[in-house]
Structure 1
Amino acid sequence: MSNILQNEDKLGAVLVQVQDDLRQLKASLEKVSADERGKPLDIQALDNAICRTESSIRKHAEDYLTSVNQQQLVLPCIEDLQKKTVQIPKWKPSLERIPDVHPQREELPGASPRGKAKHGRIITGSVARLQTIESKGRRMPGMPEEDKHRGSKWHKELKWETKPESTSVTADRECAPLWSTKTPPPSTTSKSTDQRDQRDNLISGSLQNLPVPASVNITKYPFTIIKGQIDQTATDFWHFKQSFSLCWTGVVNALGALEKLLRDFAVPLAKVSGERLVEFSHGWDNGWRKASLESGLLFVLENWEEVLGVVIRPGQRYKGEGGMEAAAIRIQSCWRRYSARTAYLCHCRRKWAAGTIAISWLMHTQMRRVRKALQARRLSQLENNRSRAQHLAANWKHIQSSKRTIIHIPSLGYSQSQRLHLGEFDVLQNIQISRVCDIRDENVEVIYVCPQHLGDNILDYYTSFLKCDGATDGAGTRTTRASSCRRRFIILTPEAVDCFPTHNMCLSTLLKYSPRTLKRIRYLIQGKQAYIVGGVAHVDDLAVADELGVPILGPEPAIAQLYSTKSGGKKIFAGAEVDVPPGQGDIYSLNQLHETLAELMTQNIDVQRWIFKIDSEHGGRGTAYCDVCHLSCFNWALQEYHRYGPELWNSEWIQESVLLRYLDEIPEWLAHYAQPAKTSCYPNWACFLKTFLRQGGVVEAYPPSDSITCLTVDLLLEPAGEVTMLSCGDQLHGSCHLEAVGSTVPQTSVHPETLHSICTRVGQACLQRFIVGYVSVDLATFLDRNTMEQKVWAVDLDITYSDQLAMTQMLLMVTGGTLNCHTGCLEVPMPVTEKGCEHQIAAKPPVGSRYAVIGSHLFHTNLSMLYHHVFFQMCKIQGIRFHMKKKQGTVFALYDNSNRSIGMITVSEDLQGALVTFARNLSVIHQEISSSKMQGETNFKELISDMEDVLHMTVQNKKQIEKKPAA
């Protein structure tokens, strides 16, 4: 700053000289009248250029002088310092450590009328965000939280220290204006350059955030502003103006802004602190103009709290100068913002709606296009299947007598909801792995599609099992057939099994998405007669058949799904004119259920239990029952029946009172006493009833007898129109008495001719409805209490290849026998003794009869702890094996690698021996793999209990037969 003051006069002289030179140039140019060509010179343009240059220089000169003159020079008053005694203030900043302090200026001659004065400096700080600390220790309001933290940090870094000074210094500080301090000692003058750099950096970086500590609460230059106007003639304002005349240019700008602010907010009275205003104007000129005026201008007032209260009052801005215009602008801006926002939101909603509609329409059209394509493709597959089925029907006898390839796909094409609720679905589909035993016919080759990857031990087991053909009687012949059997079957697993491990897809769907397996099958059946034998029909069966170009030995999926339900089966039985239990199908509402049940119970007063079956369920899953003995009015209804007698009871007017009484009590009776047969599927009647009404169902009577036998008959409905009985057996039940887990083959409950007649009529009724392939019929037989005659009811129809038939194929494979359902006998060839070797060529080998017990659903969790070879070794030690020469013993069927579920067949000379062997095997296996602390989950015990009842009944029947000839 001292250099600037020293060169100030030189710079002014230079500027004055430049102006004189320009005027002389202008005067000399006016004398020139024309240029070299004689044209007049444009004096006006040249004059304008010179004037602009002169104005520019004058402006820059004034700006320079203004910036120089705005440097504050506060001259201390000269007093008798020796007589002046004051105390050193408690707070005194160390000027060397304050980077904001302006460098000292040289004393200007004539600057002070009071004579020689000492140089003074003024501390400048952040006036835009002035945070004055009053004597009470209270901060000014309006400081942001961030500035408070920075201010506290600034105070900590300063650490003001008090240094002893001379009395003259104390007197000078006492006489100096407020907010000013003395110039540092001459030793610090050499550091003015560094201090200037530090000051510039702080001003440019964080002047707005540095608080100004204030320890003085009394101002020497106060003046008032009334209603936003300054009284220029007031003594206090004139005294303030005279005291700060050197920096008045910057003060005028800040003062004008303060007046405008007070007029805008209609502040009646404002008391201005002159020193604070000067400090604020100095900081404002150095870069604080960008800051908000309201945040700093108010703090130059002594009554800033009162003024701030007026300023922040709602609506105060609209009471001051230009308030109506400001209010109008504010209202218009709010309204325009609201209108624009509303229009924008409306536009966004319409745009979103348009996008959603467009996407929905595109998805709809795409889905419709895909749906049409799928429908066309499935229609094409159906037409192709019908044409291939006609060819199969026309050439069936030729195909059966020639070499052929059977593609076994044991698919369970249930609905998706049913498949997802079935545990270990792949194991359930692989229970019919015994289909590979069809190779016992020398003209048959089998391609078995397996729903899971089988281990080498299972594959080796079936390979060795199929090599042992019991139908042969010579060693050489057995070897020849063993080698041929190995070449006539193959087990394939679709690659899609690994892609969909948890989706519970049916096997046909997995094969549909397995192109490599399909290609392999096409290669294996190339140039051969082949057809598919599926399981539960599914629409993907047609896709697989169309891909392979082979027919399906079975009905169309739509027909199969229609008649495989419980209600559909009753329609077929009604068409076949066979005896069925009293009941009604196609029930879909609760009122219909109650009315139908009341009517059936009234007409069949002797029925003790009623069965409820869900249409789409299989086995005992969708079955519930309720006993009539729990009905409170049953005894009264029974008395009414005996009073009128069986002949008059069929009259409607007699049954009306009982019917109405049943209708009143049936809802509560069902809610309390009806229970599902398998609680693992449906835990209570409410859950069962919900599914029953949603999918439809059947209500029918349970046979009114204590001794009931259920049997299953497997039929082959040939495409040529013939009905063939393939297997028949009496059912064995486990924990659920309405679900079969095994059977005894052949059946012994119904006379073979009666059974053949019933099955033939059912088969013909199925053929009339275009149902071909494998069909399973469930029958129930019992003795009528009134007539003591045997009755046979047809209770269920399954249009699929049954588990019993698959296990029967394994039985016939291991024994080499045939099952004659017309005579009800299992005939097996017996080995030729040495005495009869001479007559071997002339006579046929002797034939013996056998009985077998089949268990297709044997389950024990502890079986998973044993390897297969360990399990077979254990069975061998316990004598559980099959004797090829005697054609009796035990054979196992393996389904999965975990070995939890197995199948078992026991063969003996009589039914009693087969039952005893089967029960003994279950007991031994359970004892070997279980302990007292780890029994495991199994159905062995319930099956053994049911077999004991059958065995007891068999013994009684045998005794009765033995007594009749004696009589």
Structure 2
Amino acid sequence: MLGVALAPMHNVDDADGFQQLQAQLSTYWLAADLFDRQPRDIVIIPSLSLDQQELMKVKGINHYEERLLFALIRLRNPNTRLIYITSTPLDSTIVEYYLKLLPDVPFSDARSRLILLSTHDASARSLTQKVLERPRLLDRIRQQLRPDGTAYMTCFNSTQWEKDLAMALGIPLLGLDPDLLHWGTKCGSRQIFAEADVPHPDGCDEVRNADDLATQAAELWERQPQLQRMVVKLNEGFSGQGNALLYLQSLQTVAPGTASHATRVEAIGRQLHHLSFQSDTESWQHYSRRIPELGAIVEAFVEGKEKRSPSVQGRITPEGKVEILSTHDQILGGPDGQIFLGCSFPADEAYRLALQDYGLAVGEALAKKGALERFSVDFLAVEQADGSWDLQAIEINLRKGGTTHPFMTLKLLTGGSYDMETGLFLNQRGEPKYYMATDNLQDDRYKGLLPEDLMHIIVQRQLHFSPSREIGSVFHLIGCLSEFGKLGVLSVGDSPEHASEMYNQVKEALNEETENHVRYRFHPASKQSH
């Protein structure tokens, strides 16, 4: 799946050694998301160790290592040191922006406890792989760790590379054992939903070729002849990038009851060549080549006039306890509305507590498999005639995601907590806080804005987050702005409407600041004849 330039460092003692490291987590698990005064050395590896071909479909993906910069807020603990590693060096303006969010902590003190390291390698490969290829960099990381057993490593997602890196550093990994990654695939998710008795769309197990995919689609149609369309998903796809729609309207001559099973399979096989993809650059020729590599499933498309995409986030402690962290209504886009763009917190009151219940059930099933740390479950919610909402689970993410950094940013900035009774986030005074967040505030007019320009606009328009009032906006993916005109925003308010207002103020300010911006382009002088 990833280009390999270094063989993973396995030996017969790896499994036992890794488990011994992981056992250390139980001694300071509670400190992972709470403020404390104990010494902590946290190695942050914001590597997106996912399929690189799928990642390259995301604009500005080379800057997504900035999404874990919310962790710099942990420097509020005066005894915490962070070692943050990236593929290429971070812009100093971006680092200063995050450190100055810290209330009651002098900038110089926080900066002295932040160690920034880089591989100076912008190639389209996993950051973790790049680190493992550089023994001198590994030595520098080890030298920064205090020898008192309080260090741990955290990352965006866990693969064998992250496991190898934790072993090489001799510290535990606050993340999933990659041996359990199957339970975060599309097929594995469906198995967990079935075990946990969580409602989910009808579909199939994983297939590895187009012929089997056509057969499974035909059998699904025969079970549900009322279907209008199906969703084809790459088993290891993410953020909707590997999803495609199979429309059935043009196949009515072979619908169940009008043709044989073999004829139906043959017709669907031809129709697969005309899938509706999320990306304009995707084709069946390329997509079909990914099926043997990543696997695929087909599911019934959930229809509905009023349809939403909520999610629930949780974590599993080393003791196997499941905790619900948050619920969100996701903001989706793309040609068929299957690409994650952002979220609002909390999810609608009509179904947020049901999301919690389903999240607990899924978490408990995952805990029995040995899963650890972050997980989330995406749903489709369809309004029924009586005003109720039908929830259908779609997939499990066994990693951090687009809803992780906004919630953790709010939590770390306010010191508040999630209330299971109401599904609200309460600050230390017991007041609820709401937010809107996105990774995709994008406009070509924003291209050319440097981090310094954004800081100027934030100050001039008073858009910044106020620690005293706990409202305003926090920005991320700032490195994407100049090249891609793309920015991440978390807008916090005292009500859903207030959070939306904060977000709209950011959009209006950026639009007004850039609408009359003159772009100078280089025009080479005409060649002179001699």
Same fold flag (TM > 0.5): yes
Q: Relative to 1, partners in 2 of residues 1:823 and 1:781: Cα closer, same or farther, differing over 3 Å?
A: same
| 2:268 alignment partner in structure 1 | 666
- Which of 469, 487, 490 is the matching residue for 2:114? 490
| 1:907 alignment partner in structure 2 | 492
d(CA) in 1 for partners of 2:76, 2:338: 33
2:291 counterpart letter in structure 1: F
- Which of 219, 229, 236 is the matching residue for 1:609? 229
Q: Relative to 1, partners in 2 of residues 1:794 and 1:531: Cα closer, same or farther, differing over 3 Å?
A: same
Q: Relative to 1, partners in 2 of residues 1:423 and 1:874: Cα closer, same or farther, differing over 3 Å?
A: closer
Task: Report the Cα offset of residue 763 of structure 1.
Answer: 0.9
Task: Report the Cα offset of residue 668 of structure 1.
Answer: 4.1
| 2:45 alignment partner in structure 1 | 409
Q: Relative to 1, partners in 2 of residues 1:721 and 1:507: Cα closer, same or farther, differing over 3 Å?
A: same
| 2:334 alignment partner in structure 1 | 735
| 1:544 alignment partner in structure 2 | 165
2:110 counterpart letter in structure 1: R
Q: Relative to 1, partners in 2 of residues 1:890 and 1:483: Cα closer, same or farther, differing over 3 Å?
A: closer
d(CA) in 1 for partners of 2:292, 2:300: 19
1:777 counterpart letter in structure 2: V
| 1:795 alignment partner in structure 2 | 394
- Which of 211, 214, 219 is the matching residue for 1:594? 214
| 1:880 alignment partner in structure 2 | 463
Whether contact under 8 Å (2:480, 2:487) holds in the other structure is no
Write the deviation string for residues 711-745 of structure 1: whole angstroms up to 9, x where unpaired.
23222111111111223211112335111121001
Q: Relative to 1, partners in 2 of residues 1:454 and 1:608: Cα closer, same or farther, differing over 3 Å?
A: same
- 2:297 pairs with 1:698: yes
**Sequence identity (%):** 21
Task: Report the Cα offset of residue 612 of structure 1.
Answer: 0.6
Write the deviation string for residues 625-676 of structure 1: whole angstroms up to 9, x where unpaired.
1233343348x86xxxxxxxxxxxxxxxxx686856744643344434x211
The 3-state SS of whatever aligns with 1:886 is coil
| 2:279 alignment partner in structure 1 | 678
| 1:102 alignment partner in structure 2 | none
- 2:511 pairs with 1:926: yes
Task: Report the Cα offset of residue 458 of structure 1.
Answer: 1.6
d(CA) in 1 for partners of 2:458, 2:236: 40
Write the deviation string for residues 660-696 of structure 1: whole angstroms up to 9, x where unpaired.
6744643344434x2112223x1x3343233235532
| 1:385 alignment partner in structure 2 | 18
Whether contact under 8 Å (1:623, 1:678) holds in the other structure is no
Q: Relative to 1, partners in 2 of residues 1:699 and 1:446: Cα closer, same or farther, differing over 3 Å?
A: same
d(CA) in 2 for partners of 1:420, 1:460: 28
1:866 counterpart letter in structure 2: L
Task: Report the Cα offset of residue 534 of structure 1.
Answer: 1.8
| 1:848 alignment partner in structure 2 | 431
Task: Judging by fraction of residues, say which structure has more helix.
Answer: 1
| 1:824 alignment partner in structure 2 | 423
| 1:535 alignment partner in structure 2 | 156
Whether contact under 8 Å (2:463, 2:505) holds in the other structure is no
- Which of 187, 199, 204 is the matching residue for 1:584? 204
d(CA) in 2 for partners of 1:522, 1:696: 38
- Which of 75, 89, 97 is the matching residue for 1:453? 89
1:607 counterpart letter in structure 2: L
What is the TM-score with the length of structure 1 in the denominator?
A: 0.48
Task: Report the Cα offset of residue 427 of structure 1.
Answer: 1.0
Q: Relative to 1, partners in 2 of residues 1:677 and 1:374: Cα closer, same or farther, differing over 3 Å?
A: closer
Whether contact under 8 Å (1:825, 1:850) holds in the other structure is yes
Q: Relative to 1, partners in 2 of residues 1:491 and 1:577: Cα closer, same or farther, differing over 3 Å?
A: farther
d(CA) in 2 for partners of 1:823, 1:555: 29
d(CA) in 2 for partners of 1:886, 1:397: 27
The 3-state SS of whatever aligns with 2:302 is coil
| 2:318 alignment partner in structure 1 | 719
d(CA) in 2 for partners of 1:539, 1:421: 23
2:400 counterpart letter in structure 1: Y
1:493 counterpart letter in structure 2: L
Instruction: Write out aligned runs for 1:428-467 (5 A).
Output: 428-440=64-76, 444-466=80-102
| 2:125 alignment partner in structure 1 | 505
The 3-state SS of whatever aligns with 1:777 is strand
- 2:164 pairs with 1:563: no
| 1:867 alignment partner in structure 2 | 450
1:806 counterpart letter in structure 2: H
Whether contact under 8 Å (2:8, 2:160) holds in the other structure is no
Residue segments in structure 1 that go unaligned for 5+ positions in a row = 1-372, 470-477, 638-654, 830-845, 935-967
Q: Relative to 1, partners in 2 of residues 1:754 and 1:488: Cα closer, same or farther, differing over 3 Å?
A: farther
Q: Relative to 1, partners in 2 of residues 1:924 and 1:485: Cα closer, same or farther, differing over 3 Å?
A: same
Whether contact under 8 Å (2:54, 2:242) holds in the other structure is no
Q: Relative to 1, partners in 2 of residues 1:885 and 1:555: Cα closer, same or farther, differing over 3 Å?
A: closer
Residue segments in structure 2 that go unaligned for 5+ positions in a row = 1-5, 520-530
The 3-state SS of whatever aligns with 1:532 is strand
Which deviates more from structure 2 when the two are superposed, residues 708-717 or residues 603-612?
603-612
d(CA) in 2 for partners of 1:783, 1:613: 24
d(CA) in 2 for partners of 1:528, 1:539: 23
Whether contact under 8 Å (1:752, 1:822) holds in the other structure is no
The 3-state SS of whatever aligns with 1:896 is helix
Write the deviation string for residues 320-347 of structure 1: whole angstroms up to 9, x where unpaired.
xxxxxxxxxxxxxxxxxxxxxxxxxxxx
Q: Relative to 1, partners in 2 of residues 1:614 and 1:915: Cα closer, same or farther, differing over 3 Å?
A: same
1:532 counterpart letter in structure 2: M
Q: Relative to 1, partners in 2 of residues 1:698 and 1:374: Cα closer, same or farther, differing over 3 Å?
A: closer
| 1:857 alignment partner in structure 2 | 440
Task: Report the Cα offset of residue 579 of structure 1.
Answer: 0.9
Task: Report the Cα offset of residue 750 of structure 1.
Answer: 5.0
1:905 counterpart letter in structure 2: L
Task: Report the Cα offset of residue 490 of structure 1.
Answer: 1.3
Whether contact under 8 Å (1:748, 1:824) holds in the other structure is no
Instruction: Write out aligned runs for 1:644-663 (5 A).
Output: 662-663=264-265
The 3-state SS of whatever aligns with 1:797 is strand
The 3-state SS of whatever aligns with 1:555 is coil
Whether contact under 8 Å (1:581, 1:794) holds in the other structure is yes
Task: Report the Cα offset of residue 528 of structure 1.
Answer: 4.3
Q: Relative to 1, partners in 2 of residues 1:825 and 1:438: Cα closer, same or farther, differing over 3 Å?
A: same
Write the deviation string for residues 183-215 of structure 1: whole angstroms up to 9, x where unpaired.
xxxxxxxxxxxxxxxxxxxxxxxxxxxxxxxxx
| Structure ID, larger Rg | 1
d(CA) in 1 for partners of 2:251, 2:492: 46
Write the deviation string for residues 19-39 of structure 1: whole angstroms up to 9, x where unpaired.
xxxxxxxxxxxxxxxxxxxxx
Write the deviation string for residues 892-934 of structure 1: whole angstroms up to 9, x where unpaired.
2244276443211112222123224323422441343245998
Whether contact under 8 Å (1:749, 1:781) holds in the other structure is no
Instruction: Write out aligned runs for 1:208-247 (5 A).
Output: none
Q: Relative to 1, partners in 2 of residues 1:721 and 1:878: Cα closer, same or farther, differing over 3 Å?
A: same
Task: Report the Cα offset of residue 577 of structure 1.
Answer: 1.9
| 2:475 alignment partner in structure 1 | 892
Q: Relative to 1, partners in 2 of residues 1:821 and 1:580: Cα closer, same or farther, differing over 3 Å?
A: same
- Which of 772, 792, 798 is the matching residue for 2:372? 772
